[in-house]
Structure 1
Amino acid sequence: MNWISNYVRPKINSLFSRREVPENLWTKCPECGTMLFHRELAENLNVCSNCDHHMAISPRDRFKSLFDTGIFTEVKVPEAVVDPLHFKDQKKYPDRLKAAQKATGEKEAMLVAEGEIGRTQVVAVAQDFSFMAGSMGMYVGNAILAAAERAVKLKRPLILFSAAGGARMQEGILSLMQMPRTTVAVQMLKEARLPYVVVLTHPTTGGVTASYAMLGDVQISEPNALICFAGPRVIEQTIREKLPEGFQRAEYLLDHGMLDRVTHRKSLREELITILRMLTNQPPAVKGDLPAPTPEPAVVATPAAPTAG
């Protein structure tokens, strides 16, 4: 037995050989190209620490950072008819749904939850752009209706985070019908005099922008989010003119009166707490995990009665 070949050489090779690094440990910022360690990126809410670019964040991760102590309860959404038009392009529609479910771990493109934000009870709903570009299908319509009905039943504000490429073409006219359905859901909230706050994230386009995403009592956006009906490239090709720099970005829309605020993702929770408490006629939120202590009444000492000598 040659101990040099069997022991020494493998030991030396293990010291100098290149170690394999998993690809999912680092994320490249699409804006500045900086390589970001996945844990640091997650702790920073998927915001680039170098250029402040806001990357996509899943509804579940967003809710964990939004609700008090990250605790929330999912609201059940009625099932939608699968593949009502028997649509097929390069793939069958059910196959696309299964692929999206496997890639995201979610059932559909929208998640509905309820819980507390700054000790204010709310219902929240968020779109997942990674699920078929957050496209608006019948399930999304059902989710918004379920969220609105839950908010009306419990008399709570509704917060909606939009992120969508528009209507889902695989559902055709049935997808477009979600525009009036979701508008009716928003009207239910207005008739119940409940706040409806919309947070538009990158990108929010198409029929989503033309319906529930622009009907909020307060319209907030994350920085540099693309918000439009038709994209800038389509408009340029149609009118054959060069559009202004930053056209249809959040800051441009804020300057032209279509938005109320452009808020950094790390400041969004505090912003929402302040707005919701104002709209529901509550006092300002108390900093910290516990509510303000109830002041105890002052105890006035009474002199002792004189005793007989």
Structure 2
Amino acid sequence: MRVLVCGARGQVGYELMRLAPQWAEPVGLGSAELDITDPAAVMAVVRELRPDLIINASAYTAVDRAESESAAAYAVNRDGIGHLAAEAQRLGIPLFHISTDYVFSGDASEPYREDQPTAPTGVYGASKLAGEQVLAATCMQHLILRTSWVFGSHGANFVKTMLRLGREREELAVVADQCGCPTSARSIAQALWHLAAVCRQEGRLEWGVYHFAGQPAVSWYEFAVEIFHQALACGLLERMPAVKPITSREYPTPAKRPLWSVLDCSKGEARYGLEPAVWQEELRVMLAALPS
């Protein structure tokens, strides 16, 4: 099964290539090899490769910068997936796409289901939602996997930022009133390959939107504390920094973050056995892979 992985140099794309099963022939392209905002380039690459499946892990993910670079965010997150969707539909190729918890407003108190109303609060979330809508309207065989708070050994993320700051500072202040689900890039890649295997064996899936995120839900503050405890235990830190919980108001950012980013993953678990990974265990695997 030939699989075109777009965004292969990012966190999830890297894991998709690393964890590709034996039955798959992955072709991984980063933005330098395939600019998905260029419709002619997308058409040429897809028609040359003729993949059996496309997995799009490309995204504009600079949440704060998106507020001042909305055109760039929409070019990748909406128009880019639109180009891929159009070509996939023409050739009858299933298309998997990664989306985000930021499509929701964050004012809920129960985990978000796939069918609940979306209401993004910033440009990043709005551009990702626009991409979902274009994909659903363009390509019949589509699967959207919404996830949250992605971390991994490859690329930049919250875990690596905390490790750097933990080495540089004796005390840190971390937001404690935003709650979500840390999710490893490794577990997302495993979920996508699992879905690809089902598609390969059965010839189709129940297309649409699915949620996949780590468990249990925590605040950024609780996530940071666990990062430091584990890093200290495995020798990545020499001392435990003091961590002070603060509110979102005390840490203003250009983009408003959702206070509640918890996803209900029961649909994917019931239909395809996509059991959410325990993020503390995934964190141990990630930290073990980092140089000491």
Greater gyration radius: 1
Q: Same fold (TM over 0.5)?
A: no
Structure scoring higher RCO (CA < 8 A, sep ≥ 6) equals 2
**Which category of TM-score, normalised to the shorter sequence, fits these structures?**
0.3 to 0.5
> Under a length normalisation based on structure 1, what TM-score does the superposition of the two structures give?
0.33
> Under a length normalisation based on structure 2, what TM-score does the superposition of the two structures give?
0.34
